[in-house]
């Protein structure tokens, strides 16, 4: 799980750096030189989808997703565990369905190209497929191995102090 966290985090960091540098260059080109760079909007949109979806994997692998645990905290440990299992299974089901739908969408729009770069729309949808499937995998792994700790040293405890 640690490798998955590190790979997703590295991909996200590199993508954000590319996005920031590209945006800064585009702003300078437009306002200082009066020469806008047309393709930056398309690349920004593509990168944002991938950053969010791969970032979701890293967050789940490190137990950093926001939760509202009012009901969970009110339950006894056995009922709490049952609730966690039900919510996790429902989340996995939703994520698998999302990945499946994104794959179907990617297949049906693979022939369509973006307006400026001519990139297949499939590459946008693939980010959703990988992010949703990867997040579902991490959740399933944690359900099978509940003793699995967070992968980052600063997040060694989950939200209940375990």
pLDDT in tens, 109-137: 989 998 998 989 999 899 999 999 999 99
Is there a domain that residue 161 lies in?
A: no
- How many independent structural domains does the chain possess? 1
pLDDT confidence of residue 161 = 47
Q: How large is the angle between the packed helices 77-109 and 122-144, nearest 10 degrees?
A: 160
Q: Which pTM value belongs to this model? A: 0.81
Is there a domain that residue 33 lies in?
A: yes
| 16: number of Cβ within 10 Å | 14
Residue 21 to residue 23: CA distance in whole angstroms? 5
pLDDT in tens, 5-57: 899 999 999 999 999 999 999 999 999 999 989 899 899 989 999 999 999 99
Is there a domain that residue 162 lies in?
A: no
Under the phi-then-psi rule, with left for phi > 0, alpha for psi from -120 to 50, and beta for the rest, what region is 113? beta
Parent domain of 147: 2-155
Is there a domain that residue 160 lies in?
A: no
Is there a domain that residue 67 lies in?
A: yes
Instruction: Decide if 53 contacts 127 (C-beta within 8 A).
Output: yes
Is there a domain that residue 72 lies in?
A: yes
Dihedral in degrees, nearest 10, Cα atoms 138, 3, 52, 94:
-10
CA gyration radius, the chain: 19
- 3-class SS of residue 120: strand
DSSP state, 148?
Answer: P
């Amino acid at each position: 799980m640690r490798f998955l966290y590190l790979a997703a985090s590295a991909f996200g960091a590199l993508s954000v750096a590319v996005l920031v540098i590209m945006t800064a260059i585009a702003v300078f080109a437009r306002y200082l030189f009066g020469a806008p760079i047309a393709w930056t909007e398309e690349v920004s949109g593509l990168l944002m989808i991938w950053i969010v979806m791969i970032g979701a994997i890293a967050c789940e692998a490190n137990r950093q997703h926001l939760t509202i645990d009012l009901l969970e905290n009110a339950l006894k440990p056995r009922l709490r565990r049952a609730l966690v299992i039900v919510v996790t299974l429902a989340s996995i089901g939703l994520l698998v369905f999302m990945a499946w739908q994104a794959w179907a969408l990617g297949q049906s729009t693979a022939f369509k190209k973006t307006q400026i770069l001519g990139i297949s729309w499939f590459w946008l949808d693939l980010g959703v497929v990988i992010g949703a499937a990867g997040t579902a995998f991490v959740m399933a792994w944690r359900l099978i191995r509940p003793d699995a700790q967070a992968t980052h040293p600063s997040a060694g405890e989950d939200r209940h102090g375990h």
